[in-house]
Structure 1
Amino acid sequence: MICVTDTIILSDDEIEERFIRAPGPGGQNVNKVETAVQLRFNAAQSPALSEAVFRRLKVLAGRRMTQDGVIVISARRFRNRERNRADALERLVTLIREAAQPPKPRRATRPTMAAKQRRLEGKQKRADVKKTRARVRVRDTD
């Protein structure tokens, strides 16, 4: 059982882990030891997540979520399999915690009179600058 928040608890069988070989430098160790972790979590089928949390999670996950609603997190920062495993799990939990917090509702406000005045003055200054850039026409006074 993985406790994400007070209301969201994931069971261990919802998370699938695959160990893969990590790319990059590492000598002989990199060619024979599978230390990188690819964690898969089916968020679309998870009974722990509400529809609203899933929608926010989909936006936050971005490219990490597949079309089927499966979140894929790869962790290969460390040389140790257990540390990579813990890192991937912590990243998943952080992502779900962030999605679990509902967005703060926006309160409609109006600009103050001074703010309106400043905006209009700025527009007038800009118009004056552009007016001075206009082509000068020479008139004959004969």
Structure 2
Amino acid sequence: MRDFSKELNFKTSRSSGAGGQNVNKVETSVTVMWKVEDSDFFNGFQKNLIFTKLKNRINLDGILQLTVSESRTQLQNKKIATDKILEIVNDSIIVPKIRYKTKPSKAKVQKRLDSKKKISDKKENRRFKF
């Protein structure tokens, strides 16, 4: 897992939701922003993967943005936001293994047909015969 947290920028704002007077006074919501193009941690291929897989999360300026307001403290929200953005980006650079189509072996095909025939014969023997 790559740690590019030095390239992240943070912005705080007032959080909504539960918290009473704390919500009205303290800026606990944290927005983490990362400019993908300016990153030194990833090569061109990886940046291209990030852009394609996270295209719905990246704005027109090329900034990946994530807002967290789960906790009542700014410090915890900052840690949660950092962990989430690291996880999202690191999951997006994984290249899935290519799956090749395979055929079942002749023995497997024969075994399947034999079992079907056996079940068919069993059901045929259950029928009432005159």
Common fold: TM-score over 0.5? yes
- The alignment status of 1:47 with 2:44, answered yes or no, reads no
- The alignment status of 1:16 with 2:13, answered yes or no, reads no
Per the alignment, residue 91 of structure 1 pairs with: 84
> Is there any run of 5+ residues in structure 1 with no aligned partner, and where?
115-142
Paired amino acid for 1:39: V
Alignment of 1:1-142 (within 5 A): 4-5=1-2, 9-10=3-4, 12=6, 14-110=7-103
Alpha carbons of structure 1 residues 66 and 111: separation in structure 2 relative to 1, 3 Å: farther
* Divergent runs of 4+, >4 A: 110-114
Q: CA deviation at 1:111?
A: 6.8
Q: Is the 8 A contact 1:17 1:39 kept in 2?
A: yes
Select the structure with the greater relative contact order (CA < 8 A; seq sep ≥ 6): 2
Q: TM-score, normalised by structure 2?
A: 0.71
Q: CA deviation at 1:110?
A: 4.2
Distance in structure 2 (CA, Å) of the matches to 1:56 and 1:39: 20
Q: CA deviation at 1:88?
A: 0.3
Give the count of matched residue pairs.
109
Q: Is the 8 A contact 1:39 1:88 kept in 2?
A: yes
Q: CA RMSD in A?
A: 2.4
> Is there any run of 5+ residues in structure 2 with no aligned partner, and where?
110-130
Deviations 1:61-81 (A, max 9, x none): 343211222100101000011
Greater displacement, 15-24 / 57-66: 57-66
Q: Is the 8 A contact 1:64 1:71 kept in 2?
A: yes
Alpha carbons of structure 1 residues 106 and 51: separation in structure 2 relative to 1, 3 Å: farther
Q: TM-score, normalised by structure 1?
A: 0.65
Over the matched positions of the two proteins, sequence identity in percent amounts to 25
